[in-house]
Amino acid sequence: MKTTRALLLATCLGFAAPAMAQEAVPTPEKVLGHRMGEDRYVPTYDEMMAYWKALAASSDRVKLVDIGPSTEGRRQVMAVVSSPENLAKLDQYREISRSLGAAQGIDEARARVLAATGKAMVWIDAGLHASEVETQTAMIAQVHDLVASDDPEATKIRNNVVTLFVPDNPDGQQFVADWYMRFKDPMKREPDFKSLPRLYHPYVGHDNNRDFYMATQVETQNMVRVLYRDWRPQIVMNQHQTGPAGTVLFLPPFRDPFNYHYEPLVISSLDEVGAALQSRLLSENKGGATTRSGAHYDTWYNGNLRTSTYFHNAVGILVEIIGSPVPETIPFVPERQVPGNDQALPAKPGPWSMAQSVDYSLSLARGLLTYAANNREKLLFDRWQMGANGIAKGSSDSWTISKDRIEAAHAALAARGGKPKPVRTRGWSEIDADLYDTVLHDPATRDARDYIVPTDQHDFPTAAKFLTSLSRLGVEMGRAEKPFTAAGREWPAGTYIVPAAQAYRAHVLDMFEPQHYPNNFAYPGGPPIPPADASGYTPAFQMGVSFARSLDPVTVATRPVSGDISPDALPIAEAGAEGTAGGWLVSHEQNDAFRLVNRLQAAGIAVSAYRTPLSVAGRKAAPGAWFVPVSAKARTIVEDGAKSLGLTIQAVPAAPQGERLAVRKPRVAMVDLYGGLHPTGWLRWILDGQELPYSIVYPQELDKGGLAKKFDIIVVPDAAIPNARSGVDGGMFRGRFDSRQPDAKDMPAKYRASLGDITAEKTLPALRAFAQNGGTILAMGSSASGLSAALELPVADPLMVEKDGKSAPLTQTQFYVPGALLTADASAADPIAWGLNSKVDLFYDGSPVFRPTGKGASVAVSFGEGPLLHSGWAWHPEHLKDTAAVLTVPEGKGKVILVGPEIALRAQTQGAFKILFNAIALSAATPQGN
């Protein structure tokens, strides 16, 4: 312990390293000129790489592994630290870890041999949220400590553990550090990072930690490849900031609820490792760590880096620690000073430095790695055991028990006239034992053995993106080699089959099945306890994927598929010679049809859309079908669209009769604010993927007016309009509310145009004039309610009630939906709903809804009779009955499209993307006739 403390001081404070440290290993201060934890210093990614390269050049205990590119083209590099002997056999140990994690074809005897032979794999990351700079600083110190130290503990760790140190967000780390260090005078450097001019991930900012079941961003793809396919570490420590007020840090265990899908051994292992870290800190008299109810974190949601590990049979540790480059103060929160199970040793209020936080982080890394070294064989075997359990459950009849099944059991008792017998626990009761078998284990409610995803669904290219997300996360799947019968129908060869019998069964179920979040209130009749993130998020529902559950095993032979899934190339027929009336019809039901249209428009090719359904040569097309007139240039683009995008395209000898809209290339503006809005970032990513040009506009440009001369549509994302009624989560799904704008002289010139705010005096009148002069405004989420009120549009808020003679919103005990999927009805008669399924799942989080009060409004998507809840938690969703989720309101010569639910959230709501795409395309449409 004394040796460890000396090394901590050497790393944090720059003291001479003890004699037992490896002599040739340079310190961070020697290479970078700064101590880790030094006040008013933040290391860049380039500096981290420079130091790691210096370590690798001087020590055989570290190996640098390039895991892929970043969004801006940097290389994301992982530092692998272990003994020289282990690194010489790194491929062997990686394969053991991978094989045990996959579990397929390995029996218990073989698993025990591999566990005895292998080395524990532990992942430690930093900088996912790039403004949480303590984590990057600490990781530099953690790598130095493990490479340089020769004390018995460090030696044991290196001999038994392969540690993977991963910088999560290279671009963000470089950007944030460069911004912070832009003042040469350290005393001018800011106390926080609220003045950042843009999101610290080029597209998604803070939401990069919500991307871990979709893996849309390249950095996420790099990391999940390591986590769940190639290396499969047994423990993952995800380092974040900041600790809850009045504490130093948060550590596991977590509060309830935990997700019903994953293996029970996950949660017990998680608690075990969390307890080991708590004990390590307490053994060094380092107080201030809180757990469970000490913060809002839980283990329900699958989309975080840390939480995704649970669905892959790994132990995910969250660290949320305080620490600022400018010394801060631990505030006095009296309730934090009472010792308890969730905080054994409270922190003393008072001054706190970054160096102290780095000292804690070094202790945490040592504690974690010592646990792994002491439990090497157990960790490896348990990883196999959990995977084997998943295979066994997927190979037999199994049931997932949730609140819905418990409610069904109580209802069955009441239906037979039975009475529950109270027990002495939480007001629970005993009921008839036979209901355990007949209700909880009703054969009709058993878990699926296989999920069947057909290729003939209306938007298979989007379904292929869903399958790609599964594949990136290590899910095994195959394609049927011949026709087969399952789930009550015939399926053709080539159909995709995702078996439940695999190590990552928990992840498979969580991607296809609804999340049944429990009713979670502080006390009966009391306020709800919010989930840490979304309560319901099933990607198959969000993406509008058609699939079938087979409750019995599918026996057809399959061809394994992996990697990114592409739709099959579809042949198209000739449409006639150039100059004839022929052309091609492109289905409006496929998201990527808009991508093809954008390519055609970029090439100067005219396109049009049919307002009514078509029937041509025995094939039907829903309203909105695109018509592309024949030409050599068009043929090349259309054929490539069929080949590369898998689009459904029909050649026709002449344009079918029917009313059409001529659609020219739209001029698109998207609103952003200083500091960056997450919804704008995601919209940029979506539109870049669709190859649609756009302009980002800030308040300064909006305030100048004359917008109708430059743009056809202005997209106003969630959180852009001030004083808008926000959702119940307080901003989790929205933009940055804590941004602080610096003086223009204190920032690079390229960011100055983003300064300013949307105001009622200048910006809102400019937006009104834009619409009145023929423009289209698409207002989303909270901005829809804010803009409708500011422009005095003829709509009412149906979630407001009269109370004491005043209008007030429903209370959270009356109506509460904290990020859930609700099923809405799409109107085929409204062009904004073209291409949508008649039933579409929308992500709803206290979102605004509307009721038209004047003439001329057109409702595209609405909430009907129900049942509305499809996944998650919704308390009294009946309040949404007969409300409009998406509607168009005329404004002068133009229109305002109000979209309450978030239809572009984290690029996951792809089943609703057509609302966005239609609004954009139709903003540049004019009647063409027959």
361: domain CATH number is 3.40.630.10
**Claim to verify: residue 557 and residue 502 sit in the same structural domain:** yes
Task: Check whether 727 has a pLDDT greater than 50.
Answer: no
Is it the case that residue 418 has pLDDT exceeding 80?
Answer: yes
Question: Is 90 exceeded by the pLDDT of residue 581?
Answer: no
pLDDT of 450 reads 99
The answer to whether the beta carbons of residues 132 and 244 sit under 8 Å apart is no
| Residue 804 resides in a domain | no
Tell me the percentage of the chain whose pLDDT exceeds 70: 95
Residue 731: band (very low, low, confident or very high) from pLDDT cuts 50, 70, 90: very low
CA 230 to chain centre: 22
| Predicted confidence (pLDDT) per residue in 38-50, tens digit | 999 999 999 999 9
pLDDT cut 90: percent of the chain above it: 90
Output the pLDDT for position 15: 33
Tokens of 208: 């990069």
Per-residue pLDDT, averaged over 633-658, amounts to: 93
**Domain span including residue 782:** 668-799+849-861+883-929
Task: For residue 206, give Cα distances in angstroms to 95, 245, 689.
Answer: 33, 20, 20
- Do 32 and 58 lie in one domain? The reply is yes
Task: Provide the token pair at 348.
Answer: 């003393």
Same structural domain, 385 and 411 = no
Report the CATH number that the domain containing residue 744 is assigned in CATH.
Answer: 3.40.50
As a whole number, mean pLDDT of residues 887-911 equals 97
- Based on the domain organization, do 351 and 281 belong to the same domain? yes
| DSSP per position, 258-323 | B-TTS-HHHHHHHHHHHHHHHHHHHHTT---EE-GGGSS--B--S-SHHHHTGGGT-EEEEEEE--
Q: Are 508 and 601 in a shared domain? A: no
What tens digit of pLDDT does each residue of 792-801 get?
A: 999 999 999 8
Tell me the C-alpha to C-alpha distance, in Å, between residue 38 and each of 181, 186, 248, 355, 365: 13, 11, 18, 6, 20
Rounded average pLDDT over 892-910: 97
- Cα separation, 207 vs 680, whole angstroms: 12
Q: What is the DSSP string of 413-460?
A: HHHTT---EE-SSTT-EE--THHIIIIIT-GGGPPPSEEEE-TTSTTH
In a domain, 837, yes or no: no
pLDDT of residue 572: 76
Residues 6+ apart with CB under 8 A from 349: 246, 329, 330, 331, 332, 333
The two tokens of residue 562 are 């992996």
Asked if residue 415 and residue 521 are part of one domain, the reply reads: no
Continuous H helices in 36-89: 45-58, 84-88
pLDDT of residue 802: 86
Query: 71-94 in b/e burial notation, b at 16+ Cβ within 10 A?
Result: beebebbbbbbbbeebbeebeebb
| Burial call 248-279: b when 16+ CB within 10 Å, e when fewer | bbbbbbbbebbbbbbbeebbebbbebbebbbe
813-872 per-position pLDDT tens digit:
999 999 999 999 999 999 999 999 999 999 999 999 999 998 899 999 999 987 999 999
pLDDT digits (tens, 9 = 90+) for 391-406: 999 999 999 999 999 9
Inform me whether the pLDDT recorded for 18 exceeds 70.
Answer: no
Angle CA 85–90–92, to nearest 5: 110
Looking at the fold, whether 70 and 146 belong to one and the same domain comes out as: yes
Give yes or no: residues 130 and 177 share one domain: yes
Domain count of the fold of the chain: 5
What is the mean predicted confidence (pLDDT) over 305-318? 98
pLDDT digits (tens, 9 = 90+) for 762-794: 999 999 999 999 999 999 999 999 999 999 999
Question: What pLDDT, in 10s, does the model give residues 95-135?
Answer: 999 999 999 999 999 999 999 999 999 999 999 999 999 99
pLDDT classification of 804: cutoffs 50, 70, 90: confident
Q: Is the pLDDT of residue 19 over 60?
A: no
Q: Is residue 624 part of a domain?
A: yes
In a domain, residue 844? The reply is no
Q: Where are the beta strands (DSSP E) in 454-576?
A: 477-480, 484-486, 489-491, 496-499, 548-550, 558-561
Answer yes or no: do 655 and 691 share one domain: no
Q: Of the candidates 253, 257, 255, which has an alpha carbon nearest to the alpha carbon of residue 268? A: 253
543 lies in the same domain as 628: no
Half-sphere exposure of 128 (CA within 13 A, CB side): 25
Residue type at 678 in one-letter notation: H
Q: pLDDT confidence of 455, banded at 50, 70, 90?
A: very high
Per-residue pLDDT tens over the stretch 505-548: 999 999 999 999 999 999 999 999 999 999 999 999 999 999 99
Provide mean pLDDT across the span 472-483: 98
3-state secondary structure of 853: coil
Asked if pLDDT for residue 5 goes beyond 60, the answer is no
Query: Average of pLDDT values for 176-182?
Result: 97
Q: Would residue 129 count as lying in a domain?
A: yes
Residues 921 and 786 in one domain: yes
- Is the model's pTM score more than 0.85? yes
Residue 23: per-residue pLDDT: 67
Residue ending a domain, choose from 347, 370, 391:
391
**Residue 824 falls within a domain, yes or no?**
no
Let me know whether 260 and 179 are in one domain: yes
- Check pLDDT > 80 for residue 737: no
Residue 809 lies in a domain: no
User: Which of 529, 561, 593 represents a domain boundary (last residue)?
Assistant: 561
**Mean pLDDT, rounded, of the chain:** 94
Choose among 807, 872, 860: nearest CA to 830.
860
Q: What pLDDT does residue 929 have?
A: 67
pLDDT value for 6: 43
Q: What is the mean pLDDT of residues 12-27?
A: 56
What local confidence, expressed as pLDDT, does residue 1 receive? 40
Last residue of a domain, one of 356, 371, 391: 391
Tell me whether residue 841 is in a domain.
no
